Amino acid sequence: MATRLLIVGKGDNVITMILDNLYSQSKLLDIQVYNNLNLPTLNKFNHDWYNITVSNDIDLNEYSQLTLGVYQPSYKVKILKSLNLDVNKFINIIHSSLDISKMSTLGRGVLINSNVTIAAHTLIGDFVSINRQVSIGHHTTIGDYCSINPGTNIAGNVTIGENSLIGMGANIIDGIQIGSNTIIGAGSLVVKDIPSNVVAYGNPCKVIRDNK
């Protein structure tokens, strides 16, 4: 019998990432999706390799392996706080193509998609999502619940606070500090520090408004 995995929260694209990552590792799992946010189905996430069922009513205690099925940092925080889940049950779901230094550290509940590179002495926090083709430089810290979109380049000695989202194709130069609960827009070039609780974008990246 296949090992059971509960995906908490139903984001169609995130579930597709999870399935692709599991397939790359040849992990055979019986997958249940807990749609506690009542999200509509927008895209198909069927996969011949897996038995997948979706439910709005489930006994969370029946599962020893959990992962988050949402991408937005605010949804991640909402699920963890509202359900009071045991964080020790969350597993990392990582694509086999990940290139990570042995001197770097991953938190729990991490989702990393294909063709990601993580350099030495980097710390990836809990429940961080890193999408495809992302490069992360040395001595960088990415806080809990962050999401990094495809094609992002993060140089060395960068700090990104918890609950922040980095848009697709953003470039962040060495030594930059980005605050918590901040959104960096797609394609931005970040050449100076960005504070917490803001939306910032552009080339060069600058604060546009508060992130309420």
Catalytic residues: 138
Count other Cβ atoms within 10 Å, centred on residue 203: 11
Largest distance between two CA atoms of the chain: 53
- Comparing CA positions, the residue from 136, 125, 21, 127 lying closest to residue 71 is 127
CB-based burial of residue 45 (10 Å sphere; 0-12 exposed, 13-18 middle, 19+ buried)? buried
Residue 9's alpha-carbon distances to 12, 43, 83, 141, in angstroms, are 9, 15, 11, 26
DSSP state of 62: G
Torsional sign, CA 53, 55, 59, 63: positive
